Amino acid sequence: MIRKRLLFSAIGLGLLGSVASADSVTGFNAVTYDNSDPANIFLTGLTYNSVTYNSSQFVYGKTDRYYNLTAGGTALWAPEGSAFPADGTAVGGTSNPKAFDLGSEADNNLWLIDPAVPVGAGSGTPDMASLDGLPYLKTLFASPVTDIFLFERGGGDPGTATPILSADGLTLGTPLQLAYSAVAGGNILSGQGVQGFVYHADSPIWGFQIDASGLDALTILTPVGVPEPSSLVLLGLAGALLFRFKK
C-alpha cells in the first residue's frame, strides 16, 4: 500500500511539474491558409507544440476596441461601426481610428474578404480589428482557456499582452511583451504579410488585453480538442504504471 501511495504521489508531482511554468508569448510552428481565391483568404490550420489544429477546432471569443477619452481614461467604442466618439482623442504615432475595422472582425478565420466581388475576381478587403489611433482591445472567451493565438496584418507592432483573470474582463494580470512569428508565403494580403503569436497561460484565463496601437488583428482564437503532447506522455506513463501494479 505504501509503495502504491508513493507511486501515485510521483505521478501527481510529474503532472503538476508539466504545467508549472510562467505565462509566455511566443511564435508558432506552422500555419496553413487558403488563398485560392484572391478575394477571400482565410486561416485553415495551425501547428503549435507539435500538435496540428484545423479550422473546426478554432474557438473565437468576443473582441472589443477601446479609445482614449479626452478628459482622461478609456471607454468602450460602441456601438460597433459608429463614428469615432466625440469625447475621444486618437493615440498619436499611428493612423486615425477606423470605424469600419470592427473588433468583431478579429473573431473569425477570415483574413481577406470582399462579398461584393465574384469568386475568383479582383482583390478583397482585410477583415480585421484595427487599433489605429486606439490604445487597446480586449478579447473574452465564454470559458477559461490556456492558449490564445493572434494573427496580424503586417506585424511587428510593439506592445503587450495582458491576461484577463475574471469573466467580466476587469481583473488583469501581468503584461508581457509581444513576440511575433512570420506566416510563410510573403505578402499575401494586398502587398502585406501576416505575423502572429501565441499567448500561453500557466493557469486558465478568460482572455487577454492587447495594448499595441496600430496593430491590425486579423484573427484571435483558441484551439480545442487535442491535449498537449507532454500531457499525453505523462498520462500514458501513469496508465502503464498503474496497470503494472494491478497485475
pLDDT at 241: 46
Q: Percentage of the chain surpassing pLDDT 90?
A: 64
* CATH code for residues 22-225: 2.60.120
User: In degrees rounded to 5, what are phi and psi of residue 14?
Assistant: -65, -40
Collapsed DSSP state (helix, strand, coil) of residue 96: coil
User: In degrees rounded to 5, what are phi and psi of residue 192?
Assistant: -125, 155
Cα separation, 191 vs 70, whole angstroms: 35
Is residue 99 within 8 Å of residue 81, measured between CB atoms?
yes
Is residue 193 within 8 Å of residue 86, measured between CB atoms?
no
Give, for 34, the enclosing helix (H) or strand (E): strand 30-37
pLDDT at 17: 43
Give how far Cα 56 sits from Cα of 13, 19, 179, 181, 219, Å.
Answer: 34, 26, 26, 23, 15
CA angle (40, 41, 43) in 5-degree steps: 140
At 13-64, the pLDDT tens digits run 444 444 446 999 998 889 999 988 877 899 999 999 889 999 999 999 999 9
